[in-house]
Amino acid sequence: MARRHILFLIVLGLSFLALTWPGLALLPPLKPYILGLPAPLAWILSWLVILFLALLILFLAEGGEGEEGG
Amino acid sequence: MSGPGAELWIPLGYLALVLTVGLLSARKTTRSVTGFVAGDRAMNVLVLYFVLGAAIFSSFAFLGAPGWAYSRGAAAYFILVYGALGLVPMYFLGPRARRLGQRFGFVTQAEMLAHRFRSPALSVVMAVLSIVIFIPYLVLQMKGAGFILEVVSGGRIPIWAGALLTYTVVTVYVFHSGVMGVGWTSMLQGIFMMILAWGLGLYLPQALFGGVEEMFRALDSEGFREALTPPGLMGDGRPWHWPGFASAVLVTALGFSCWPHFFMKAFAARSDRAIRMTVVMYPSFQIFLIPILLIGFAGILAYPGVSPADTILPHVLINASLPAWIVGIACAGTLAASMSSGDAILHAAASIGVRDGVRPLRDRPLSDAAERRVIRWLVLVMASVSYYFAVWSTVPLVDLLVGAYGAVAQIMPLMLAALYWRRATPAGAMWGLLGGLGVNTLFLVFPELRPWPVHEGVYGLVANVGLLVGLSLAGRPMAEGHLGEYFRAMGSGRGAGAPDA
């Protein structure tokens, strides 16, 4: 398995822990509010962004490879 | 009461627009089965992005999700979380499947699995499973459409008529245009849903509480802190627990990309790049669940006691003294959510029924033209059967869908084995799937038998993987010639890496 795939799987595993237990469980239920959203909701939103960036980096690292394959 | 105003003319006009787009979209595809089912394998990133995005955002997103926020508080975060993780497997599995489809002519997930394991029986099992989970899903979408039209029309359009009208539109364009009808209408519907979600989700807290933060502060001071503390509440109002939340996320995220109507779009993609880019961009679709949840939260203090909870969105629409045109747009957006999932399901149910259910059982293959004809007629049959259930059955909206995910997730080990593990055997695949489904169903029907409070799908997955690995290792490997051909086809895209040994 390529190193970038291993790294990505680590990020994916971390995001699962961050978005369920223990990540979400450790946060205060409401305060502080970020962009008007309670802390857990803002936390989830930021992990959406992290996952997006991780996928984007993976995609760019693979370049246009695989296009029109087969 | 005066005649119907904008709240009704907008959704009706919207239905006409969708019908037009749906009918026009058949022009470019060939009149073959591959054209009808997989759009001649020519979908670009834009179409694919909206097809996959809109297929996921169903009536559940617009009625169920605010209902969860309304009645179960922070438990609604679950919907955001599984969605964030759920499409990721597609990034890896999708391109492999696409290349296999191109090489061997597959248009459905079951065809791919049946070929890999040389097992027509597996394809029939998958077809039966698909239809069994598709019918309730489709029924749900029809009910959602009928319900919203009934509410905004003040009862002038009863549920049966609203569902009939909406799904006649869907059935006509699916029958006529196949997957491209689904594709181009999804683009329209997706854009419409995004506008609605952000518009209404930000407007309501502002109008009712003076802002989103103010709304949450009000909820906090009015004694809703427990409900808003993750993982929120269960359906019965007791606090949810972390094993339940985390295992539900795991099972649902694994099942997400396994939905047969969803995964088969990998075969419609033009390139690996189109699939990967769609997955990368997908969170932009996911984020619009946040304003939808805000609508539900806004309802807690403003409209207490609404039951069932998944009627909170229409309840807010009617009672918030909104301008008629906003109600009309919100209604059309909800119809968009229903139709854009319903059409994909209807199309997939007919395609899978014929390709995977009927074809393997026949001695003589159908001609391409005959097969296309049978698929089309099955579209009509499926729509009629679902309509019958939608109008006559009384099962609650959300439970059916939540129950289906445990079963769908059982397909994931099979796909991983098919695409990555040469040593997997037909016996392992078949018994893994059947065992997983059996155990999942057992714990779904008898939840009191569960040794730990985790999602029934987890037990199914343990049995599934155990049987798959155990029986595969105990049996003889499949012929190297067959595997070689299969894995070579999968690796033939440049940059796919070496085929896994």
What are the C-alpha distances in Å from B360 to residues B323, B365, B414?
Answer: 55, 9, 19
Distance of alpha carbon A49 from alpha carbon B289, whole angstroms:
14
pLDDT, tens only, B118-158 = 999 999 999 999 998 898 889 989 989 999 999 889 899 99
DSSP string for residues in A54-68:
HHHHHHHHTTTTTTT
The neighbour count for residue B94, using CB atoms within 10 Å, is 25
Single out the residue of B268, B460, B281 nearest to residue B348, CA to CA.
Answer: B268
Rounded to the nearest 10 degrees, the angle between the axes of helix B88-104 and helix B272-281 is 160
Q: How high is the pLDDT of residue A66?
A: 47
ipTM reported for the complex, 2 dp: 0.92
CA distance B74 to chain A (A): 9
Q: Which two tokens stand for residue B93?
A: 């599995």
Q: Which two tokens stand for residue B130?
A: 């698909």
Q: Is the pLDDT of residue B500 over 60?
A: no
Rounded to the nearest 10 degrees, the angle between the axes of helix B120-152 and helix B426-445 is 40
Q: Is the pLDDT of residue B366 over 90?
A: no
Task: Print burial letters for B427-452: b (CB count within 10 Å at least 16), e (below 16).
Answer: bbbbbbbbbbbebbbbbbeeeeeeee
Q: Is the pLDDT of residue A46 over 50?
A: yes
Q: Where are the alpha helices (DSSP H) in B210-288?
A: 212-221, 225-228, 242-256, 260-263, 272-281, 283-286
What are the C-alpha distances in Å from B28 to residues B31, B181, B396?
Answer: 9, 11, 40
Tell me if residue B466 falls in helix, strand or coil.
helix
Poorest-pLDDT segment among A5-9, A65-69, B410-414, B468-472: A65-69
Average pLDDT, chain B: 90
The neighbour count for residue B96, using CB atoms within 10 Å, is 27
Chain B residues whose CB is inside 8 A of the A21 CB are 242, 245-246
Distance of alpha carbon B310 from alpha carbon B96, whole angstroms:
39
Rounded to the nearest 10 degrees, the angle between the axes of helix B77-86 and helix A3-19 is 170
Q: A37 forms bridges with which residues in the sheet?
A: A34
Q: How high is the pLDDT of residue B286?
A: 85
Q: Which residue has the tokens 């059935």?
A: B171
Q: Is the pLDDT of residue B495 over 50?
A: no
Spatial contact of B329 and B10, defined as CB atoms under 8 Å apart:
yes
CA distance B293 to chain A (A): 10
Chain A residues whose CB is inside 8 A of the B486 CB are none
Binned at pLDDT 50, 70 and 90, residue B496 comes out as very low
User: Which residue out of B213, B240, B270, B500 would a mutagenesis test of the A interface target, given it has the greatest number of A Cβ atoms within 10 Å?
Assistant: B213
CA distance A47 to chain B (A): 8
Chain A residues whose CB is inside 8 A of the B88 CB are 12, 51, 55
Q: Which two tokens stand for residue B491?
A: 């690796």
Residue of B nearest to A20 (CA): B246
Query: What element of type H or E holds B109?
Result: helix B109-116
- For chain A, the C-alpha Rg in angstroms (whole number) is 16
Distance of alpha carbon B299 from alpha carbon B309, whole angstroms:
10
Q: What is the DSSP letter of B357?
A: I
Nearest to B85 among A16, A21, A36 (CB): A16
Spatial contact of B184 and B278, defined as CB atoms under 8 Å apart:
no
User: Which residue out of A4, A34, A48, A58 would a mutagenesis test of the B interface target, given it has the greatest number of B Cβ atoms within 10 Å?
Assistant: A48
Single out the residue of B440, B374, B383 nearest to residue B408, CA to CA.
Answer: B440
Q: Which residues contact B277 (CB under 8 A, 6 or more apart)?
A: A59, B45, B49
Task: Classify the C-alpha dihedral B161-B165-B166-B171 as positive or negative.
Answer: positive
Binned at pLDDT 50, 70 and 90, residue A69 comes out as very low
For residues B169, B174, B177 and B180, what is the CA-based torsion angle, rounded to 10 degrees? 110
Q: Which two tokens stand for residue A32?
A: 């502080």
Q: Which two tokens stand for residue B165?
A: 């009208």
Q: Which two tokens stand for residue B461?
A: 């997955």
Q: How high is the pLDDT of residue B372?
A: 93
Distance of alpha carbon B50 from alpha carbon B242, whole angstroms:
33
Give residue B157's Cα distance to chain centre. 27
